[in-house]
Amino acid sequence: MIFVNSMSDLFHKQVPTSFIDQVFETMEAADWHVFQVLTKRSSLMRDYLRRRYCATPGPKHIWCGVSVEDAQAKGRIEHLRATPAGVRFLSIEPLIGAVGPVDLTGIDWVIAGGESGPGARPLHLEWAREIRDQCVEQKVAFFFKQWGGIRPKSGGRELDGREWSEFPDRKASAL
């Protein structure tokens, strides 16, 4: 599993389309890997993938996701749902506020977690539970990454007495 541009955003407005094309050509050719592409620029990703794949879903080994850190960022979910991706996921981290009700139709995976590093804002238990419970109810794989704190592993990974380490079923992914 390869996290593409883990410290940057492939769909930043200053990244040339020709570069994005090269990245996707490489990912498409290397179908023995799973690639994760995460962005905050959800409409740019949606538009690019619509041009690239038209009405067909993208390759199952290229997972496309959007960051949703609180309720104000929920609009990105609609962009993702309209994206022709093989697997769609939400990265709800750092979770810095309640997200509220979320329609997870067409979403294959949700990752949630707290912020880490100096000055990390706290993750409230009810925010994490709300997301987890919606995933369980809507049958979407849920991965709780961390509580956060000074160091990423400061608070551990348990939510209500267990680790949540679910992954999407790549064979039954959203189309």
Domain ranges of the chain: 2-172
pLDDT of residue 173: 44
- Angstrom distance (rounded) from CA 119 to CA 96: 12
The answer to whether 21 and 54 are in contact (CB under 8 A) is: no
pTM listed for this prediction: 0.93
What is the spatial order of strands in the sheet that 2-4 belongs to?
A: 2-4, 35-39, 62-67, 87-92, 109-113, 141-146
The answer to whether 59 and 31 are in contact (CB under 8 A) is: yes
CB atoms under 10 Å from CB of 157, counted, come to 16
Token duo for residue 4? 């593409």
Which helix (H) or strand (E) segment is 113 a member of? strand 109-113
Could you read off the pLDDT tens digit of each residue along the chain, which spans 175 residues? 999 998 899 999 999 999 999 999 999 999 999 999 999 999 999 999 999 999 898 999 999 999 999 999 999 999 999 999 999 999 999 999 999 999 999 999 999 999 988 999 999 999 999 999 999 999 999 999 999 888 777 788 999 999 999 999 865 444 3
pLDDT of residue 154: 77
